[in-house]
Amino acid sequence: MLYRYLLLVRFGLINLVAVSLLCAAFLQGWLDGIVRAELVELSGIIAAVFLYGFVFCAARVWTTSLELNDVKAGRPRPQSHAGRYLAALEDRADRELSLRVFRLKLTNRIAIVRHVANSLVFLGLIGTVIGFIIALSGVDPAGASDAERVGGMVSTLISGMSVALNTTLVGAVLYVWLIVNHRLLATGTVHLLTATLERGQAPAAETVGAE
């Protein structure tokens, strides 16, 4: 029975490895700089957006896995996209139009995961810009010769660079994590599309064979 939920198993293994690496990084203290950095809220926002995309992707993986199992078993649910497409084949003469609608619905169902993943990169870049603004806001060329003021400028510069680098790192890592899950979901969606098309062509093939 495990092969019937192969998509879910792959999803679980990928994210188990990712979570294990995250825990290892935390135990090694590699995340301390991010947690203790100024404006850690920016990294929190990026993480929250990632969490939304991850939960949405997990729900879509679950739905796709169930639909794929039902189609392969020859019992697609009437309310599913695959079930509606197979039912439409019996009522519509234009099979090409039904196929295009079905493919479009499957594509739109997973597109939001890709959009969320892309937004993580842009949020990281926004954090980078904010960090550079903070860093440069403390630079005063006129006070470069004043030893007392140089210390404050260096402190502000380091703080701003920390914000810039941390948000860039968080956005990039979470983007890779989510895009890998999106790729897995896209592969499962292609398998669902292929299995549904094969199921839809089966009656036609049987009819030709009977003739």
Mean pLDDT confidence for 44-67: 95
pLDDT > 70? residue 142: no
d(CA 178, CA 182): 6
What are the Cα distances from residue 130, in Å, to 45, 84, 125, 159, 209?
14, 48, 9, 11, 68
Supply the pLDDT for residue 67.
92
Mean pLDDT in residue range 89-100:
71
Residue 79, φ and ψ in degrees, nearest 5: -85, -10
Domain holding 87, by residue range, is 2-210
Q: Are 43 and 120 in contact (CB under 8 A)?
A: no
Residue bearing the bigger pLDDT, 40 or 55: 55
Distance CA 84, CA 89 (A): 9
Domain count, the chain: 1
Q: Rounded mean pLDDT of 149-173?
A: 86
pLDDT in the model for residue 114:
95
> Region 184-202: what's the mean pLDDT?
88
29: region left, alpha or beta (phi > 0 left; psi from -120 to 50 alpha): left
Instruction: Tell me what pLDDT residue 148 has.
Output: 67
Average pLDDT, the chain: 85
Report yes or no: 84 and 93 within 8 Å, Cβ to Cβ: no
Contact (CB, 8 A) for 153 and 99? no
The pLDDT, as a whole number, for residue 145 is: 63
Among 11-15, 86-90, 177-181, the least confident range: 86-90
Mean pLDDT of 40-68: 95
Helices (H), the chain: 6-27, 32-36, 40-72, 81-91, 95-137, 147-210
| Residue position matching structure tokens 């926002």 | 45
CB 153 within 8 A of CB 143: yes
Instruction: Name the pTM for this structure.
Output: 0.86
Work out the pLDDT band at 210, boundaries 50, 70, 90: very low
pLDDT tier at 187, thresholds 50, 70, 90: very high
pLDDT at 130 over 70: yes
Helices (H) then strands (E): counts for the chain: 6, 0
Q: Which of 10-19, 80-89, 141-150, 191-200 has the lowest average pLDDT? A: 141-150
Comparing CA positions, the residue from 111, 3, 118 lying closest to residue 57 is: 111
